[in-house]
């Protein structure tokens, strides 16, 4: 698929540039991996070394000595024990956050994170609730010190209704003449694109999966399973729609027709809104839509995003659109209010994290 090639090309470009390798080196490494391993007599670590993907092969004690040399720590020979002062990455970030609170400035760039499946109503962290996220956007709009809003989107979509609730709230924010910039994470597709489309600027990474401008509907039914078990459903109703949506009976033809028309209508609405916000024709958007998924570079070529970059780039651009000088504004993450019970759980989890990592050997994939 096109987006897989785009992701692979982006990955190759990053690796070969960082390792100072020829452009096609990684492709050749992957295609000839079995031959290269055979040349190294089955030693995969030596294969990576010979090919230039790593600089040196070291044991753990040698790695500790290398760290000591880089940081100016005394070597093991000069110490009584094989140890040195160190801090885990996660603990370091948390310590820096506590010791370096954001400076107090009146002008602010608000950042709201929309991560997870988009669902109706209010949802806990880990999902995007239509009402929950809309409330955070209203909070940003009510704060006169917020000069621009950056929405960080990492979602493959979900409810069309909830997505439209969020989009409308973002449009209302933009009516205050303050910039809205979207920064796409690993994925911002389908509903994730729906909530992004009105932004003054849309930023994506070359590896972002976006687009998937399409609509679908799935209704599970169990009539065949029940039939196999010898279970039958019966009843009476007053209209043709009575029991037509009963998942134990199967969908009636009239309901199937209704769902089909609803899907077509929502798709037409989707591409119309994208065309309006992206200032392109419906025909152009339809060519890039139809459920297709694009990597960031391809999405840029098709006008679905404006720039390539990370969250910091998006924040800096939002500040520029708002007329704020670099370093003269505060970045404020607007997050849901957490109750006492949730705060206690989060604090206990945070406190236990170092011990858990020590017992489990660190983060795992």
pLDDT digits (tens, 9 = 90+) for 308-352: 999 999 999 999 999 999 888 999 999 987 666 655 655 665 555
How many percent of the chain have pLDDT more than 70?
86
Q: Look at residue 79 and tell me whether its pLDDT is greater than 80.
A: no
Burial of 293 (0-12, 13-18, 19+ CB in 10 A): buried
Q: Where do runs of H (alpha helix) occur along 189-231?
A: 191-194, 223-229
Q: What are phi and psi of 25, to 5 degrees?
A: -60, -40
Burial of 174 (0-12, 13-18, 19+ CB in 10 A): middle
For residue 355, the model assigns a pLDDT of 53
For residue 83, the model assigns a pLDDT of 65
On whether the pTM is more than 0.85, the answer is no
Q: Where do runs of H (alpha helix) occur along 20-84?
A: 25-31, 33-39, 44-51, 60-71
pLDDT band at residue 237 using 50, 70 and 90 as cut-offs: confident
Q: Look at residue 359 and tell me whether its pLDDT is greater than 50.
A: no
Whose structure tokens read 């400076």?
103
Alpha carbon 308 to chain centroid distance? 15
Q: Which of 59-63, 116-120, 260-264, 289-293 has the lowest mean pLDDT?
A: 59-63
Q: Is 152 helix (H, G, I), strand (E, B) or coil?
A: strand
Give the list of residues 6+ apart from residue 180 with CB closer than 8 angstroms, or none.
148, 149, 150, 151, 170, 173, 174, 198, 199, 200, 318
* Distance of alpha carbon 36 from alpha carbon 18, whole angstroms: 21
Neighbour count for residue 81 (Cβ, 10 Å)? 6
Q: Look at residue 10 and tell me whether its pLDDT is greater than 90.
A: no
Nearest to 138 by CA among 157, 166, 119: 166
Whose structure tokens read 């030596």?
46
Give the list of residues 6+ apart from residue 143 with CB closer than 8 angstroms, or none.
108, 110
Q: 132, 183, 190, 196: which is the annotated catalytic residue?
A: 190
Bridge partners, 109 (sequence order): 148, 331
Question: In the numeric block, which tokens belong to residue 170?
Answer: 């973002």
For residue 140, the model assigns a pLDDT of 96
Q: Does 242 participate in catalysis according to the annotation?
A: no
Q: Is 332 helix (H, G, I), strand (E, B) or coil?
A: strand
Q: Is 211 helix (H, G, I), strand (E, B) or coil?
A: strand
Structure-derived torsion over alpha carbons of residues 148, 152, 156, 159, reported in degrees to the nearest 10: -40
Q: Which of 42-51, 132-141, 230-239, 321-330 has the lowest mean pLDDT?
A: 230-239
Nearest to 167 by CA among 114, 109, 111: 114
Q: Is 118 helix (H, G, I), strand (E, B) or coil?
A: strand
Q: What are phi and psi of 349, to 5 degrees?
A: -65, -45
Question: In the numeric block, which tokens belong to residue 11?
Answer: 């990955």
Q: Look at residue 18 and tell me whether its pLDDT is greater than 90.
A: yes
For residue 361, the model assigns a pLDDT of 42
Q: Are 249 and 243 in contact (CB under 8 A)?
A: yes
Whose structure tokens read 């940003």?
140
* Distance of alpha carbon 274 from alpha carbon 270, whole angstroms: 6
Q: Cite the beta strand spans of 179-320 per DSSP E.
A: 180-189, 201-204, 209-211, 293-295, 307-308
């Amino acid at each position: 698929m096109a987006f897989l090639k785009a992701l692979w090309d982006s990955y190759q470009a990053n690796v070969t540039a960082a390792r100072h390798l020829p452009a096609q080196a990684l492709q050749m490494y992957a295609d000839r991996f079995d031959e290269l391993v055979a040349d190294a007599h089955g030693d995969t670590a030596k294969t990576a070394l010979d090919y230039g993907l790593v600089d040196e092969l070291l044991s753990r004690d040698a790695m500790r000595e290398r760290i000591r040399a880089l940081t100016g720590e005394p070597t093991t020979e000069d110490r009584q024990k094989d140890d040195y002062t160190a801090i885990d990455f996660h603990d370091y970030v948390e310590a820096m956050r506590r010791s370096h609170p954001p400076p107090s400035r009146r002008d602010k760039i608000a950042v709201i994170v929309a991560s997870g499946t988009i669902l109706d109503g209010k949802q806990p962290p880990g999902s995007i609730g239509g009402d929950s996220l809309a409330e955070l956007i209203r909070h940003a709009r009510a704060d006169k010190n917020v000069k621009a809003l950056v929405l960080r989107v990492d979602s493959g979509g979900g409810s069309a209704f909830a997505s439209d609730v969020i989009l409308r709230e973002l449009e209302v924010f933009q009516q205050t003449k303050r910039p809205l910039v979207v920064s796409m994470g690993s994925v911002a597709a389908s509903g994730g694109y729906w909530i992004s489309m009105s932004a003054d600027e849309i930023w994506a990474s070359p590896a972002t999966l976006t687009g998937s401008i399409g609509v679908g509907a799935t209704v599970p039914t169990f009539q065949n399973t029940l039939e196999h078990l010898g279970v039958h459903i019966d009843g009476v109703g007053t209209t043709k729609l009575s029991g037509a949506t009963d998942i134990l009976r199967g969908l009636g033809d009239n309901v199937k027709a209704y769902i089909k028309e609803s899907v077509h209508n929502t798709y037409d609405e989707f591409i119309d809104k994208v065309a309006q916000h992206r200032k392109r024709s419906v025909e152009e958007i339809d060519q890039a839509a139809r459920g297709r998924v694009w990597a960031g570079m391809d999405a840029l070529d098709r006008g679905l995003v404006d720039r390539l970059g990370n969250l910091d780039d998006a924040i800096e651009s939002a500040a520029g659109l708002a007329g704020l000088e670099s370093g003269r504004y505060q970045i404020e993450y607007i997050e849901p209010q957490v109750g006492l019970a949730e705060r206690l759980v989060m604090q206990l989890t945070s406190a236990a994290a170092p011990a858990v990592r020590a017992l489990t050997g660190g983060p795992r994939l």
